[in-house]
Structure 1
């Protein structure tokens, strides 16, 4: 198996933002993974949130709460099982030692195929319990996991926020509609190619895209600076679009 490493420079150079938020949900076990959950437990629609490399954060937990307004039950599982990337791992100054730690992370617990196995396990358990619609939302690294899931798991759609590690063939293999929300730090040509390929699919009319060109990689997750007017507006906008998109199915 080819080792997948992270080639997004922004993903490897920015520290997470700090934010304060009081969660409205609870932590429970889902398919053997500690998970933050929120929403109607009787809902037949579930959104699985695939965190960024920093693990649980105020911003992604708050996002789960917002996504639950769609009427879905939202699950944010700890795919790193207590071993996310350290918050200062991507902060300057960088060093050969840090770079090695980063690549080791993405080759082990942070390997997308490894996380995919965990997400697929959760999807299978949800299906066994009669859940009718399953969506996934992924941040940065997590977006790669969701589009891999979209090629094999019985889900209804995925949302990618400032995706990293993507390749054009990910779009070729995708079997479900996609809402793609890149930042200004993503590869413009690659994003255009992926969007074009998705639009050409039989479900292309259900795919949407908006580029947040004035926002940094991570604006919808742990790096979101929710105390600044511009980033806060973008954060609210991307989740309103996500909620509306899920409700359209």
Structure 2
């Protein structure tokens, strides 16, 4: 069974978009924007998309959200990076696909996923974080979008970062949420077959039971999975919701990455 909600507005691609530049960081081509003198950084972990497939496993409906050929080149992702950078952060958006995005061939998903499993992202992200630390960065926040949320939640279980934001997450479990050790914000969508509001509310219940960890959970009405980076510029409601989510994300990092 296929879902169209996350595939209806694929991003335009432009490798040269944004006001920043591309450089190698931790071994990865990375879009970097913001003052190089900043000691505060935000790591953005991209989503992945070309197609969206649902699979049934052990009586649970799971969405295997594999979209490719976007990631760090998506103009809207870079636009968000520039916006965060304007607030005083050096923002890094690495290509964690290493130039090998999913090509849309469903038969190749098992092989592609072995190389690009979201569970492996933490090891790649740690290399980028080490590179940032070597440049004098003292505090780092990380935001993950769909595919990228798994890597960010894994980072949030340790002291690699100072704050985390998950935007329309995938591959994140309740056990992941229970293990969080840093301030975390979860932004979900009302229209999301992958992680519907009832799942996001379960995350909220777990976080509420951990008062020692600052948390923020919000479900955005009238938007679908992926809305923060895949909104339609002609849709005023979608643009407004994306802008609100971006402001929430930025506010979280301004509060907790110091």
- For Structure 1 versus Structure 2, the TM-score category normalised by the shorter chain is 0.7 to 0.9
Asked whether 1:229 is paired with 2:223, we answer no
Q: Which has the higher contact order (CA 8 A, sep 6+)?
A: 1
Q: State the SS of the aligned residue for 2:19.
A: coil
Aligned partners of 1:116 and 1:149 also within 8 Å? yes
Gaps of 5+ in 2: 49-69
Q: Tell me, in whole angstroms, the C-alpha distance in 1 between the residues paired with 2:2 and 2:143.
A: 19
Asked whether 1:121 is paired with 2:127, we answer yes
Q: CA deviation at 1:226?
A: 2.2
2:201 to 188, 192, 217: 192
What per-residue deviation string (whole Å, max 9, x for no partner) do you get for residues 61-110 of structure 1?
A: 11101111221100000000111224xx3xxxxxxxx443334333322x
User: Equivalences for 1:54-69 in 2 at 5 Å?
Assistant: 54-55=70-71, 56-69=73-86
Q: Tell me, in whole angstroms, the C-alpha distance in 2 between the residues paired with 1:148 and 1:226.
A: 32
Aligned partners of 1:33 and 1:77 also within 8 Å? yes
Q: CA deviation at 1:57?
A: 0.4
Match of residue 245 from structure 2: 238
User: Equivalences for 1:74-223 in 2 at 5 Å?
Assistant: 74-86=91-103, 89=104, 98-109=105-116, 111-184=117-190, 185=192, 186-204=195-213, 206-221=214-229, 223=230
Q: CA deviation at 1:239?
A: 0.9
What per-residue deviation string (whole Å, max 9, x for no partner) do you get for residues 12-42 of structure 1?
A: 7545144889411111111111111111111
Gaps of 5+ in 1: 1-6, 90-97
Aligned partners of 1:79 and 1:118 also within 8 Å? yes
Q: Tell me, in whole angstroms, the C-alpha distance in 2 between the residues paired with 1:199 and 1:104.
A: 38
> With structure 2 as the length reference, what TM-score do the two structures score?
0.81
Q: Tell me, in whole angstroms, the C-alpha distance in 2 between the residues paired with 1:10 and 1:202.
A: 38
Q: Judging changes above 3 Å, is the alpha-carbon distance between structure 1 residues 29 and 248 closer, same or farther for their aligned structure 2 residues?
A: same
Q: Which has a greater percent of strand?
A: 2
Match of residue 95 from structure 1: none
Q: CA deviation at 1:9?
A: 5.0
Aligned partners of 1:178 and 1:207 also within 8 Å? yes
Q: CA deviation at 1:238?
A: 0.8
> With structure 1 as the length reference, what TM-score do the two structures score?
0.84
Match of residue 38 from structure 1: 33
Aligned residues: 230
What per-residue deviation string (whole Å, max 9, x for no partner) do you get for residues 145-174 of structure 1?
A: 100111134210111111111110011111
Root-mean-square deviation (CA, aligned residues, Å) is 2.4
